[in-house]
Structure formats: C-alpha cells, structure tokens
Amino acid sequence: MNTRLQVEHPITECITGVDLVHQMIRSAYGHPLRLSQDDIQIRGWAVENRVYAEDPFKNFGMPSIGRLYKYEEPKSLSGVRCDSGIEEGSEISMYYDPMICKLTTYADTREEAIKKSVNALDHYVIRGVTHNIPLLRDILTETKFNEGNFTTNYLPETYPDGFQGVQLTPDESLELAVIASAMHSKEANRARQTLNNYVIKNEESNLDEFDLMVTVKGEDIPVHMTRDGARFVAKSGGKTLALLDNFQLSDSVVKATFDEKVSVVQLIGRQADGTLRIRYKGTALNVPVIPAHAAELRKYMKEKPKLDLSKVILSPMPGVVKAISVEIGQMVGEGLECCVVEAMKMQNSMKASATGKVKAINIKVGDTVEEDQVLIELE
C-alpha cells in the first residue's frame, strides 16, 4: 500500500478514470496489472480541497474539536467528489487527525475546476466545529493562486498578518447588507404570525416596509427595504437592489438571487440582539441588523472594557498539557516558553507575550484543557 494514497488518489482517479485502490488490492492478491502506460490518458483538470476541523484564523489552522450536529456534503453538484469517513453526529476529537473530507472537483479546464470548487465550498454545510473552508475558498479566488505563480511560502507571503477572513468590496458589503435585511424582515414577519387562531388574520399583520441599519465588518449601511410581490427591493446610498424571495430561513443553503447574479450564503444563527451570523464567500460574519430608530440610540451605550490578555497565557485549542517550563515566582521574559499543549499529534509551545513574574499556574502535566482556558497568569 502506498502510504501517500490518502493524499493524491482522488486527483489521479478523476483525470485518468483509474481506481488506484482497486488496482492496489488486485496487486496484493497477486493479479497482474491489466493496464499499460499507454492506457493511461489524462483528461481535464481536478482540484482537491482538504476540509479540516481547523481554525484558519489561528496560525492558518489550529485544530478544533466538537460534534458535527449538522453536516451536508455538496454531492448533488456536477463534477464534485467527496471522500470522507464521518457523518452528521460524528465527533472530531483531539486524539486523531482533524480531516473531515477530501473535496475534489473536476472539469475540462483548470479555471472551470476552480469555479466548481468555489461553488462546492459554498454549498458545504458544517456545524459544530470550526473549519478551514474560509481559507480554502479565499485562496481559490486569490490572484497568485489562479495565475499559478506561487511557492511553498505562499501563505505567509499572501497573508503576512495572518488570515483575516474575506475582504469585501463596497458592492459586496451592500449585497450582504441586503441579504441580511431580507432575512431580518422574514424573521420579523414570522414572529408576528399567530397560528391556530381564526380571529387574527396573519396576512394583515405582516410588515412590508423596513428602515434598517446593517453593520458589515464595522461599517454601518442604512437599508430601506420594501416588499414588491415576490421580491425584496432595497435602497441604500442611491443604489437599488432587488432580491428574489425564493428561500426559507430554515434552508441550510440560501441561493440569494439578484437581477444579475446569484450568491450562495448560509444563515448559521441569530442572536438575541438581532445579530445574524451569515456565511458569505466562505467566511462566517456577524452582521448586526437593527431598526434605524434604534441605531440612533447606540451613541448612548457604554462600551465594555477590554480585558488585558498580555498577562495571561490562554490555550489556543483543546488539548493535553505535556510540559510546564516555569514555576510560581519566576521572572519570565517576552517570548519565553511557559508550557506545551499537545493536540491532534502536534505539540504547541505556549509563550509569554509580556515580561512579568509568574503569579499562578492553573494546570499540571497531564491535564486536559479547553480552548481559551487560562493556563498561566503573570503579575
């Protein structure tokens, strides 16, 4: 058995039509190969995305653990292959490799295979763990990658400050604001409905006009939303966008259909303060949506003080403490290793981010720790 089979075989099989696992099993039984080199023809292009339970915002991929309470693969799309060993309800633990699936797309050209990959990643539904789809999708739309002009130093060169999520243009921010406004209006009207009551007529209680303030990545976008038959018509900053009302809030994947384009998004959840968590272009974004008159009162709200994290060492992931390098009362300098946390076959050195004296050690070797748990405190 070729130990690298797990990495490359979907690509080879898609472009040659040869089942490598089948051939290996036949060879193990002593059967001769029925294929010669002349029988192997390469047709088209294939792109493989290794979908992992990792947080791409932490060093491009710190492991994440949890149970998949919702899991849907984009198998219904043409030219898409999914190789996975998990299903909805499976648990991603700290003891094994966190790979979820090898998502492979294939087409006649490289450009078309990449487009299919982007579409497949947008349709991939994973809830319960943090995953690396935001980074995968962003790379697929990045200029250097599409030009094929990159090296093994690609990630630090392309994201020198680390991966920050999708960077939106003004038009994309407005599009997301309109989608969020439509979802807000559907939620507001659903909350006004009364079921099994023949006295109250639901159709007369629906609201068809909303003045909203939507915040996208820190930018406030005013949206005037009206209902025009089977469409939502939104006006903002002199622009008008029409969004087809062809989705339900319970849909795992929403195909937001505008006049000239379709954007695939996912409504992950809604918070009590009106914030919608929407996956847009791969990245899950918190999008607060509130009535315009309520937005005017935000200036009176006090800001929460930010915690000083420079004097504490937090675990970046769930794991097991393998070593502690300091003791209480010891002076440590910035960058000094204080402990080591192991998770998913990787040992991670936890270093002090500031100079100080060790005030408390809240762990011991062998302890299982959670993400963001305080391991060591400095004075």
Please say if 50 is a catalytic residue. no
Q: How far apart are CA 117 and CA 103, in angstroms?
A: 8
- Among the listed residues 4, 34, 67, 127, the single catalytic one is 4
Closest CA to 14 of 74, 76, 115, 82: 82
Q: Which residues contact 297 (CB under 8 A, 6 or more apart)?
A: none
**How is residue 165 written in tokens?**
């999520």
Q: Decide: 132 and 54 in contact? Cβ < 8 Å.
A: yes
**What DSSP string runs through 116-135?**
HHHHHHHH-EEESS--SHHH
Q: Which residues contact 240 (CB under 8 A, 6 or more apart)?
A: 233, 234
Closest CA to 46 of 16, 6, 89, 1: 16
Strand ranges across the sheet with 337-343: 346-351, 337-343, 319-324, 368-369
Element (H, E) at 263: strand 262-270
Count of CB atoms situated within 10 Å of the CB of 165: 17
Task: Read off the amino acid at residue 344.
Answer: M
Closest CA to 346 of 163, 97, 58, 135: 97
Task: Read off the amino acid at residue 173.
Answer: S
Task: Read off the amino acid at residue 176.
Answer: L
Catalytic residues, by residue number, are 4
